C-alpha cells in the first residue's frame, strides 16, 4: 500500500482534481490519498477566525460569503450530473452553515481549530463526489477517527497506528482510501491540527503507521531543487537525498517539504518521493536511508534569524558556562539553530523573538550580550560534504564579498551553515549556485 499526498494547488481547481483522479488510478496498488484544503482556503479560514477573535462579525460574515461563493462556482465546474451537483452543494451548505452558526457564538481557541478544519473536510468530501461521478471506487477514511495528538500536541504514533490499522482492516475490499491532511483530534477529543503546512506530516505519519511502500508528496514543482528557484535563475532537481539531508534542507528553508514530516518516514524507513502533478513523468526527488552520492547537493536559506553573542572573560577555562547559557534558552522554550564558540565568547542563533527581551535580561549577568537581528542562515547541505572536491575552498572563494557573520560546520557531515545579514541572502545563494554547482 502506498500514500499519495496532494497539496492545495494540486486540488485547487476542478481540472486539477481531475488530474489527481488520473494519478491515483494509474496503477493497481492500493493507496491512501491525503488531501490538503483547496489552495487559499486555510488562509481564508485563518482570516475569518481572526475577525471573529476581534469580534468583528461583519468582516467575518463578508469573508465567509466570499469563500462560499468560491466553493459554489468550484462545484459547478467539478461535477456535471445534477444529482452530484446537489450532493456537492449539500456538502458546501453543511460547512458554511457551520461557519455561519459560529458567527453567533463566542469565540474560543477550540472554535478556532474547528474553523481551520473546514478546508480539508470540504476538499476531501468534494473530491469523493467527483470520484463517484467518474465511477472510481473509493472510501473516505475520516482523519478525525485515527489522527490523534498527545498532551504535548505531538502525534501519538502508537495510537495512530492502532486506529488506522483497525479502520483499514474493516475495508479489505477497497483499494483507494481518501483522507484529510492537517486535521486531527487532541487529548480532549476536540478537533485540532498539525500546524500550518501539516498535510505533509499527516502523509508521513500515515505512511509510517502502515509501513507503506512509498510516501509520495505531489506538489507543483518537480522535486527538491539544489537552490531556491524563486531567487536563483538556474536550478536543478535533486535526484536522491538521505532522510538527514532532507531534514536539514526542509528545516533550513526548502519550502517544498514540511520539516517535521521527515522523522516518521525515517523511523519506519519508508521512502518519500517528491513529485510534480503538472509533470507526472519527471523523476522528482527520492528521499531514502541512503544518500545516493557524496558531495554538496543543495543550498537553502532561512530568514528572520537573530544572532546573540555572549562574551565573558569568565568563560576562559571555566566549565559549566555553556550549560548556564543554554538553560536560559530552555527556560523560554526557544530552540537554537546555529552555535559557535571561541575561548571567551559563544554565539548562537534563534528564529523567534517571542522571548528575546527576557532571554537577554537573563544572559546579561554572564557577560556582554550583543544582539543582531535580520540575519539569514544559508545552509549548504549534502553528504560528507567537506570531504569532497575542495568544497570548503570553493565555498569560501564563492562568498569572498559577503560579510559572513558566523560559520558552523561539524555538527553533522551533512551541513555547513553560514550566517549573513539578510540583505546579502540572495547574493549569497546566487554566488553559491555558480561557485558550488557551476550553474
Q: Which residues bind ligand ASP (CB under 6 A)?
A: 7-8, 36-37, 42, 119, 181-182, 196-199
In sequence order, the 6+-apart residues with CB closer than 8 A to the CB of 328 are 359, 362, 363
**Closest residue by Cα to residue 89 from 122, 61, 43, 63:** 122
When the beta carbons of 119 and 367 are compared against ligand ASP, the nearer one is 119
Tell me which of ligand ASP, Mg ion, none is bound by residue 321, counting a contact when its beta carbon lies within the kind-specific cut-off of 5 to 8 angstroms. none
Tell me which of ligand ASP, Mg ion, none is bound by residue 37, counting a contact when its beta carbon lies within the kind-specific cut-off of 5 to 8 angstroms. ligand ASP
Q: What angle do CA 241, 235, 38 make, to 5 degrees?
A: 80
On whether the CB atoms of residues 339 and 346 are closer than 8 A, the answer is yes
Q: Which stretch binds Mg ion (CB under 5 A): 2-10, 149-157, 313-321, 368-376?
A: 2-10
CB of 325 to Mg ion, least distance (A): 36
On whether the CB atoms of residues 246 and 257 are closer than 8 A, the answer is yes
Binding of Mg ion at residue 198 (CB under 5 A)?
no
CB of 246 to ligand ASP, least distance (A): 17
Tell me which of ligand ASP, Mg ion, none is bound by residue 437, counting a contact when its beta carbon lies within the kind-specific cut-off of 5 to 8 angstroms. none
Tell me which of ligand ASP, Mg ion, none is bound by residue 198, counting a contact when its beta carbon lies within the kind-specific cut-off of 5 to 8 angstroms. ligand ASP
Q: Which stretch binds Mg ion (CB under 5 A): 136-144, 195-203, 358-366, 388-396?
A: 195-203
When the beta carbons of 7 and 155 are compared against Mg ion, the nearer one is 7
Pairing of strands 31-35, 176-180: parallel
Q: What is the dihedral of CA 369, 370, 376, 381, to 10 degrees?
A: -50
Tell me which of ligand ASP, Mg ion, none is bound by residue 243, counting a contact when its beta carbon lies within the kind-specific cut-off of 5 to 8 angstroms. none
On whether the CB atoms of residues 183 and 191 are closer than 8 A, the answer is yes
- Residues 260, 289: Cα–Cα separation, whole Å: 17
When the beta carbons of 8 and 421 are compared against Mg ion, the nearer one is 8
CB of 380 to ligand ASP, least distance (A): 27
- Residues 308, 370: Cα–Cα separation, whole Å: 6
Instruction: Look up cell 487532541; give the residue.
Output: 186
CB of 237 to ligand ASP, least distance (A): 21
**With CB under 5 A, what is the number of residues at the site for Mg ion?**
2
Tell me which of ligand ASP, Mg ion, none is bound by residue 119, counting a contact when its beta carbon lies within the kind-specific cut-off of 5 to 8 angstroms. ligand ASP
Q: What is the dihedral of CA 344, 349, 350, 355, to 10 degrees?
A: 30
Q: What are phi and psi of 183, to 5 degrees?
A: -90, 155
Footprint of Mg ion on residues 49-68 (CB under 5 A)?
A: none
CB of 181 to ligand ASP, least distance (A): 5
Q: What angle do CA 125, 128, 133 make, to 5 degrees?
A: 135
Residue nearest to ligand ASP (CB): 199
When the beta carbons of 8 and 284 are compared against ligand ASP, the nearer one is 8
When the beta carbons of 13 and 175 are compared against Mg ion, the nearer one is 13
CB of 288 to Mg ion, least distance (A): 22
- Residues 33, 376: Cα–Cα separation, whole Å: 36
CB of 99 to ligand ASP, least distance (A): 16
On whether the CB atoms of residues 406 and 377 are closer than 8 A, the answer is no
- Residues 379, 252: Cα–Cα separation, whole Å: 6
On whether the CB atoms of residues 402 and 428 are closer than 8 A, the answer is yes
* H or E element at residue 72: helix 57-78
CB of 52 to ligand ASP, least distance (A): 19
DSSP label at residue 256: T
Q: Based on the number of CB atoms within 10 Å of its own CB, is 181 exposed (0-12), middle (13-18) or buried (19 or more)? A: buried
Tell me which of ligand ASP, Mg ion, none is bound by residue 264, counting a contact when its beta carbon lies within the kind-specific cut-off of 5 to 8 angstroms. none
CB of 199 to Mg ion, least distance (A): 6
Q: What angle do CA 271, 8, 252 make, to 5 degrees?
A: 55
Footprint of Mg ion on residues 251-280 (CB under 5 A)?
A: none
When the beta carbons of 7 and 421 are compared against ligand ASP, the nearer one is 7
Pick from 6, 7, 17, 178: which binds Mg ion (CB under 5 A)?
7
Pick from 197, 284, 382, 435: which binds Mg ion (CB under 5 A)?
197
Tell me which of Mg ion, ligand ASP, none is bound by residue 424, counting a contact when its beta carbon lies within the kind-specific cut-off of 5 to 8 angstroms. none
- Residues 59, 48: Cα–Cα separation, whole Å: 8
Taking residue 407's Cβ as centre, other Cβ atoms within 10 Å add up to: 15
CB of 127 to ligand ASP, least distance (A): 14
Q: Which residues bind Mg ion (CB under 5 A)?
A: 7, 197
Amino acid at each position: 500500500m502506498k500514500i499519495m499526498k496532494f497539496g492545495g494547488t494540486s486540488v485547487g481547481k476542478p481540472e486539477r482534481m481531475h488530474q489527481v483522479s488520473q494519478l491515483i488510478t494509474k496503477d493497481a496498488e492500493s493507496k491512501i490519498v491525503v488531501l490538503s484544503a483547496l489552495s487559499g482556503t486555510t488562509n481564508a479560514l485563518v482570516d475569518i477566525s481572526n475577525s471573529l477573535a476581534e469580534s468583528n462579525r461583519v468582516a467575518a460574515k463578508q469573508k465567509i460569503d466570499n469563500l462560499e461563493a468560491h466553493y459554489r462556482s468550484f462545484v459547478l465546474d467539478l461535477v456535471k450530473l445534477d444529482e452530484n451537483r446537489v450532493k456537492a452543494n449539500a456538502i458546501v451548505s453543511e460547512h458554511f452553515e457551520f461557519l455561519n452558526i459560529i458567527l453567533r457564538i463566542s469565540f474560543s481557541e477550540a472554535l478556532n481549530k474547528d474553523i481551520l478544519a473546514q478546508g480539508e473536510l470540504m476538499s476531501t468530501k468534494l473530491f469523493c463526489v467527483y470520484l463517484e461521478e467518474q465511477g472510481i471506487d473509493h472510501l473516505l477514511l475520516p482523519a478525525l477517527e485515527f489522527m490523534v495528538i498527545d498532551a504535548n500536541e505531538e502525534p501519538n504514533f502508537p495510537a495512530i497506528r492502532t486506529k488506522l490499522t483497525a479502520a483499514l482492516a474493516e475495508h479489505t475490499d477497497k483499494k483507494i482510501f481518501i483522507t484529510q491532511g492537517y486535521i486531527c483530534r487532541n487529548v480532549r477529543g476536540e478537533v485540532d491540527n498539525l500546524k500550518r503546512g501539516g498535510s505533509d506530516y499527516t502523509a508521513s505519519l500515515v505512511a509510517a503507521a502502515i509501513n507503506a511502500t512509498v510516501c509520495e508528496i505531489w506538489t507543483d514543482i518537480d522535486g527538491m531543487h539544489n537552490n531556491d528557484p524563486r531567487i536563483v535563475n538556474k536550478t536543478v532537481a535533486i535526484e536522491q537525498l538521505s532522510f538527514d539531508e532532507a531534514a536539514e534542507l526542509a528545516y533550513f528553508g526548502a519550502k517544498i517539504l514540511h520539516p517535521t514530516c521527515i522523522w516518521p518516514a525515517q523511523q519506519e524507513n519508508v521512502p518519500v518521493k517528491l513529485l510534480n502533478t503538472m509533470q507526472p513523468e519527471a523523476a522528482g526527488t527520492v528521499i531514502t536511508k541512503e544518500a545516493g552520492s557524496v558531495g554538496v547537493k543543495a543550498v537553502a536559506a532561512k530568514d528572520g534569524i537573530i544572532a546573540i553573542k555572549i562574551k565573558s572573560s569568565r568563560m576562559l577555562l571555566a566549565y559549566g558556562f555553556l550549560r548556564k547559557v543554554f538553560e536560559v534558552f530552555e527556560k523560554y522554550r526557544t530552540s537554537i539553530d546555529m552555535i559557535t564558540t571561541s575561548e571567551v565568547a559563544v554565539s548562537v542563533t534563534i528564529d523567534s523573538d517571542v522571548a528575546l527581551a527576557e532571554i537577554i535580561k537573563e544572559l546579561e549577568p554572564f557577560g556582554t550580550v550583543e544582539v543582531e537581528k535580520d540575519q539569514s542562515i544559508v545552509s549548504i547541505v549534502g553528504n560528507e560534504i567537506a570531504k569532497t572536491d575542495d568544497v570548503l575552498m570553493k565555498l569560501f572563494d564563492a562568498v569572498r564579498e559577503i560579510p559572513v557573520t558566523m560559520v558552523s560546520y561539524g555538527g553533522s557531515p551533512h551541513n555547513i551553515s553560514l550566517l549573513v545579514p539578510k540583505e546579502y541572502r540572495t547574493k549569497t545563494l546566487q554566488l553559491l549556485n555558480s561557485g558550488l554547482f557551476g550553474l
